[in-house]
Amino acid sequence: MSSYEFDMIVIGGGSAGLTAAGIAANFGAKTMMVEADRLGGDCTWTGCIPSKTLLKASKVARQIKDAGKYGLVDNEPEINFKKVMKHVDEVKKEVYEDADRPEIFEDMGIDVVHGKAAFLDPHTIEIQTKEGKRRAVSSKKFIIATGAKSFVPEIPGLDSVDYLTNESLFEIENLPEKLLIIGGGPIGTEMSQAFVNLGSEVTVIDMASRILSKDDPELVDILQQKLKEQGVKYALDASVEKVEQDGKNIQVHIKKEGEHFVLEGDALLVATGRKANTAVLNLEAAGVATQNGQVIVNDSCRTNQKHIYAAGDVTGRYQFTHMSEHMAKIAATKAILKFIPMKIEDDMLSWVTYTEPELAHVGKTEQQLKEAGEKFEVYRFPYSKIDRAVTEGETTGLVKIFAKKLSGKILGASVVGAHAGEFISEYAVAIKNGVSMRGIADTIHPYPSWGLGARRAADQWYIKNQSEWSVKLIKTLFGYRGEVPDFSDPDRVV
């Protein structure tokens, strides 16, 4: 019998922790899960769930304003912001009750404990509850899944200003008249659209020359233009010099192209990334190596200690809920079953920014393929040729697939447009299972579905592999009398 109290202790009850604990218990391991706050973590309470709920409300508001394009009457929506935020809160609680509450995991045989965990030695942690009680617990193995929190840069004057992060944004009760957002990443971009559509005047500030720097520049331009049309303002290539309070307003002093400007608003959202939650874990006592506060893991999610694994945002590798769950599956399976050959699938990394239109990607980017010297073709298909997009008035968008010319092997894909995340899901399945462009093109998709757009984009592989000489040869062999298509345009779409 083991001398340890538990076979597995999972530290953290967010997306990664919930997944890891469930898998460990399912394999028969005596499991404890320790959470410092509420199960569900960032995704349920301050991230994915509230942000997408708010975005949906803002989308409905925009549809009311733009009802004329559906043959209805444009109108100005009446926004009851308190009611909107109450709805956001209700959705968070619904998700928690349905998927995250402790009883669900206790029914699996998991010992759920609320408190802060810190290592005493490589096999022992001390748990401190909110009431101040302390308890030492030992385990054969551990998975660290404590997630991350908002990173707030050192900006002069920021400490004296009542600024917001994603952790406090969804608790506000009054709609800002003028919202300033520092950070043009996914959080800043999504919230800029949400609040501008709900009636705020929004300005996004970023030191980079464009928003969403990890995404395809061409597709980002399409999205940014749409956001500008909706009213979002930008101060890019701008450095923030200081922030100060001016009565009820907040002033952000920026420097752009050598000139100084002052932007003023009644609310400030700092959306400048996230940092790992490791400060209170006392990882030194366990001998766990870190870098810049993040737990270092190999591709099997194992730390430098063979019995300790880590998954999710705490590793700093991939700040996405779906990747946290993916890493948790690997960590728990490897920790419990030891020799199962599993590792993080870097080439399968996907992400979506849930604006309208959505912006999504999977696999290698065009830039990464070029830097690697990979030979590939770019297959493009506009949303204006997707019949479902036309019927719903959602023709702003573009599909770009990066694939091998002859085999049609898909290396990556980027999409901007309505339901881009669903397109990316289809391409993700294709990459994972070796389905080529031809395989997608030859698969029957229902008409007029959005998914048919994914197939029609794949059809372009056939078009690009067709040539003038091959058509002439077919005409000669079979005596056909039609005209030869014009192959002079390399970007022609059929």
What residue numbers does the annotated binding site cover?
52, 183-190, 273, 313
3-state secondary structure of 460: helix
Query: How much is the CA Rg of the chain, to the nearest whole Å?
Result: 26
DSSP assignments along 367-409, one per residue = HHHHHTT---EEEEEEGGG-HHHHHTT----EEEEEE-TTT--
**Residue 27 burial (C-beta neighbours within 10 Å; 0-12, 13-18, 19+):** middle
The CA–CA distances, whole Å, from 24 to 7, 30, 246, 329, 332 equal 9, 8, 53, 9, 6
List the one residue out of 404, 405, 427, 403 whose CA is nearest residue 415.
427
- Residue ranges for the known binding site for FAD are 52, 313
| DSSP H or E run through 329 | helix 321-337
CA distances from 202 to 199, 266, 283 (A): 9, 11, 41
| Binding-site residue set for NAD(+) | 183-190, 273
Instruction: Identify the H or E element spanning 261.
Output: strand 259-265
The closest alpha carbon to 202, from 185, 179, 186, 184, belongs to 179
Integer Cα distance of 46 and 155 in angstroms: 23
Number of H helices, E strands in the chain: 16, 23
